[in-house]
Structure 1
Amino acid sequence: MHAHWTVCQLGAREHYSVAAALHASGCLNGLFTDAWIAPETARRLSGLSMGRRLADRYCHDLASAEVGHANFQSILFELGLRLQRRGGWEAIIARNDWFQRRAIKWLTSRPQIRLASESGPSVKSERQPILFAYSYAALSLFRWAKSQGWMTVLGQIDGGFQDERLISQLRAEQNFEDNPWRPAPSQYWDQWHDECKLADRVVVNSNWSQSLVAQSGVAPQKLAVIPLAYSPPPASTAFVRDFAPRFSARRPLKVLFLGQVTVRKGILELLKAAEELLQQPVEFSVVGSHPQLIPEQWSRIPNVRFIGPIPRSETNKWYRNSDIFLFPTHSDGFGLTQLEAQAWKLPVVASRCCGDVIEDGINGRRLDFNSSNAIVEAIEAILEQPHLLRQWSEQSCQTDTYSTNRMSHALSELL
């Protein structure tokens, strides 16, 4: 790969996998992100709530890379939002705009960027700079990059406008109007369409996302499916999973849900299924934040434990101590948690509205329909045939398929 890539990333999405893949192949000029906290700093701040939230804002694979950040400015910006009582979409759009301004300031301050800019927008070469930025926080960045003669790649994090339409319809059907979720304003989608127009290529992470983005009018020739990259924790390689020969009230089937506890992620279908399985030896652990209100009729089901949000560093123990990972999402750009579960040889029951990590009957089950009945049927099949878990675990997907080498090669073929 001859091109020079720069990545601008708001947040710690995908554990910085795109930047890490490019750095591993020697093609990363630099990464700019809003917060970057070295491990020793994170340890000093661990006693503070803010410190715990920032503990995962670092990637060891990028320890030798050039990384720009706006740590101090980011804290001031977030405090300003709170003082001004700005929230919801107003805060999201303001944060995206703020991040892009900081990123452009960083880009123009770097000597190699100034040298590239002096060549002018008409210069083309094998080492032509390429800017990678994620959807919804890329428009100003792409306008700047185009003025410098750069090529642009948009990392599309979800299914775009059609994705929101799907979730909005779902919520209406499930009568969730009293929750704080609101659709994005038209300004948000207008800017997204402009991002897609300015992008030379649009990278999606699954066939599911590709179909939704294409329905929104993005040119098919711009779209490229590149699954997420994932590096499993070293300890998972030698991990040996114990399998119960049967399940009972003393040793129930442990079902793990890990992620945002929202309608999008299928939480209502899970809770309805749990209610139907009350007389079966099944225990559900719901790990993650829940910004939406859970209807009272399902909030106190005896076989469901709401654990709440946990640091990323604590997720592995939940994968190790569970029997099955449930991922009943209605729409997901990929679903990295599927790979995390598989790294620990944990079978997965997943919907078809996400990345194609699970092969039905090989390393888990794919739900034909996103419904509580489908979840109940899948779990009852496991209760009746516990040996399936061992079979599926032994066939857990090879995470080499999702390596940084594979991702860097796929990126090299884009332009």
Structure 2
Amino acid sequence: MNRYIVSCLGSRERYGIPVALYKSGMLDSFHTDIYVPQIISHISKNVSLPSSFKALLQRNNPELPFQYVDQQFLLGLEFRRRVRRAKSLKERQDLLAHYGAIFAKKVGASINGEKNLIAFTGAALESFLRVKDLGGKAILDQVDPGLLEWERIKNERDMYPGWEIGQDDPPWSYDFEDRVWRELELADEVIVNSQYSKKSLEFWGSKQSIKVVPIASSVQRMKKQNINIRRPLRVLFFGALCLRKGVHYALEAFQILKQKGVEIEMKMAGELYISTEKLRCYSGVTYLGTVASSEVPALFDNTDVMIFPTLSDGFGMVQVESMSRGVPVISSSFCAEIVSHNENGFVLDEVTAEGIAYFIERYSDDRKLLEVHSSAAFDASEKYSVQNYQGLIRELFD
């Protein structure tokens, strides 16, 4: 049986790949920056702590034993602190290139003999060089759609000046672009999580074998019991509050509906990358800040509809998390094809405030439609179960 080392800077996909390989008996070791023992995470759930700190303390997976983990804890803390302060795409990419190189070099130094390695974009290069020198196999998990996505962000920033801090910086880091290219060239295989990402890499010019493996939701599935019949419609925007995620269109949609007298409540949760002055312009919107993973199910349980007007996302896990709790999604077409239009949500062919407002108003006016889509969303989420994902990983790597 093949065995694999997995290397991951951050908590990508809630550690889905190392967990799947461990449960299949194929995991050699898992290298990461921060991985907190389960007992500490369990205790922190019942302690009053800032959401960002509580989220950090839940960096683990109960199905992955701690003894399989080799972590670079101090590097992870420094990397996390600086990334949280970064406001521009270029700044975040430069930080990932810098810390990713340090991380990958240490991972590479720990590898002896012919080993197979799965590593993630930006933190793979030096460890790939080591693995290839030793005759092993290098597999890259491509995190985002790359150049196509960065160009979309640049165009949006040009159209909406003053929304994001750091908009005067270069649109993306050309050093990071070079690093990603070198990782792609070294990789024997590339994994992506959606057809959208695959098409984006092919647009970029990648010639490697690209395999699509949709990722799983870590949120426990639970069908919504009480559909909102008479109360104002509760709408959630969940994810980084930035131009790439379409936060500006969501806010403008709320303003349109408010002016029309449509009764809705809008909450936003996630890292804030837009100017606070812009956010304050939209009175009536509640900003919750970052949300720890343990608090995500309750967040969806108090939501009727989630909006995900992203301009580009390799996958868009929040769609699956939302549907896992019976919450239909108004999504865009620039991500994984998870939502089926007018079956378990709505899909925007083009992201506009008017389009978002139109579909929100349909749910507000027709609560029976909301109920039908809620049930269908829950049913569709079964496809993205952990069991199905682990089966795909076993099939791919065994």
Task: State whether TM-score is above 0.5.
Answer: yes
Letter of the 2:286 counterpart: R
Match of 2:227 among 243, 259, 262: 243
Matched, 1:310 2:291: yes
- TM-score by length of structure 1 reads 0.85
Tell me how far apart the structure 2 counterparts of residues 48 and 71 of structure 1 sit (CA, whole Å): 20
Of 324-333 and 402-411, more deviation after overlay is shown by: 402-411
Equivalent position of 1:126 in the other structure? none
Match of 1:152 among 100, 114, 138: 138
Matched, 1:265 2:267: no
Of 40-49 and 331-340, more deviation after overlay is shown by: 40-49
Q: 1:90 to 1:350 in 2, by over 3 A?
A: closer
Q: Deviations over 1:33-78 (max 9, x none)?
A: 0011113334677677685342121110102661111224544677
Matched, 1:197 2:185: yes
Does the aligned pair in 2 maintain the 1:17–1:230 contact within 8 Å? no
Match of 1:171 among 147, 150, 157: 157
* Pairs aligned (count): 383
Letter of the 1:394 counterpart: S
Does the aligned pair in 1 maintain the 2:108–2:131 contact within 8 Å? no
What is the deviation of 1:80?
Answer: 9.7
Does the aligned pair in 2 maintain the 1:12–1:56 contact within 8 Å? no
Tell me how far apart the structure 1 counterparts of residues 189 and 315 of structure 2 sit (CA, whole Å): 18
Letter of the 2:355 counterpart: A
Equivalent position of 1:137 in the other structure? 123
Equivalent position of 1:225 in the other structure? 212
Tell me how far apart the structure 1 counterparts of residues 101 and 330 of structure 2 sit (CA, whole Å): 38
Equivalent position of 1:328 in the other structure? 309
Q: Residues 382-401 of structure 1: matches in 2 within 5 Å?
A: 382-396=363-377, 397-401=379-383
What is the deviation of 1:94?
Answer: 1.7
What is the deviation of 1:175?
Answer: 2.3
Q: Residues 373-384 of structure 1: matches in 2 within 5 Å?
A: 373-384=354-365
Equivalent position of 2:69 in the other structure? 67
Of 223-232 and 45-54, more deviation after overlay is shown by: 45-54
Does the aligned pair in 2 maintain the 1:89–1:184 contact within 8 Å? yes
Q: Residues 7-406 of structure 1: matches in 2 within 5 Å?
A: 7-42=6-41, 51-63=53-65, 66-75=68-77, 88-105=92-109, 107-108=110-111, 114=112, 116-117=113-114, 129-176=115-162, 179-181=165-167, 182=169, 183-219=171-207, 222-233=209-220, 236-237=221-222, 239-246=223-230, 251-278=231-258, 279-294=261-276, 296=278, 299-396=280-377, 397-406=379-388
Q: Deviations over 1:252-307 (max 9, x none)?
A: 100011110000001000011111011210111011121221553x5242331111
What is the deviation of 1:381?
Answer: 1.3
Tell me how far apart the structure 1 counterparts of residues 186 and 390 of structure 2 sit (CA, whole Å): 22
Tell me how far apart the structure 1 counterparts of residues 387 and 185 of structure 2 sit (CA, whole Å): 29
Does the aligned pair in 2 maintain the 1:24–1:404 contact within 8 Å? no
Does the aligned pair in 2 maintain the 1:232–1:399 contact within 8 Å? no
Please give the secondary structure, in 1, of the residue aligned with 2:63. Answer: helix
Tell me how far apart the structure 1 counterparts of residues 49 and 106 of structure 2 sit (CA, whole Å): 26
Does the aligned pair in 2 maintain the 1:348–1:364 contact within 8 Å? yes
Letter of the 1:229 counterpart: A
Which structure is larger by alpha-carbon Rg, 1 or 2? 1
Does the aligned pair in 1 maintain the 2:145–2:197 contact within 8 Å? yes
What is the deviation of 1:218?
Answer: 0.2
What is the deviation of 1:240?
Answer: 3.7
- TM-score by length of structure 2 reads 0.89
Equivalent position of 2:87 in the other structure? none
Equivalent position of 1:124 in the other structure? none
Of 336-345 and 396-405, more deviation after overlay is shown by: 396-405
Does the aligned pair in 1 maintain the 2:329–2:344 contact within 8 Å? yes
Q: 1:73 to 1:383 in 2, by over 3 A?
A: closer
Letter of the 1:28 counterpart: L
Tell me how far apart the structure 2 counterparts of residues 77 and 370 of structure 1 sit (CA, whole Å): 33
Letter of the 2:396 counterpart: E
Matched, 1:413 2:396: yes
Tell me how far apart the structure 2 counterparts of residues 137 and 156 of structure 1 sit (CA, whole Å): 11
The percent of aligned pairs where both chains have the same amino acid is 26
Does the aligned pair in 1 maintain the 2:164–2:274 contact within 8 Å? no
Tell me how far apart the structure 1 counterparts of residues 388 and 66 of structure 2 sit (CA, whole Å): 21
Aligned-pair Cα RMSD in Å: 2.5
What is the deviation of 1:379?
Answer: 1.1
* Structure 2 unpaired stretches of 5+: 85-90
What is the deviation of 1:398?
Answer: 3.8
Letter of the 1:223 counterpart: I
What is the deviation of 1:79?
Answer: 7.8
Please give the secondary structure, in 2, of the residue aligned with 1:8. Answer: strand
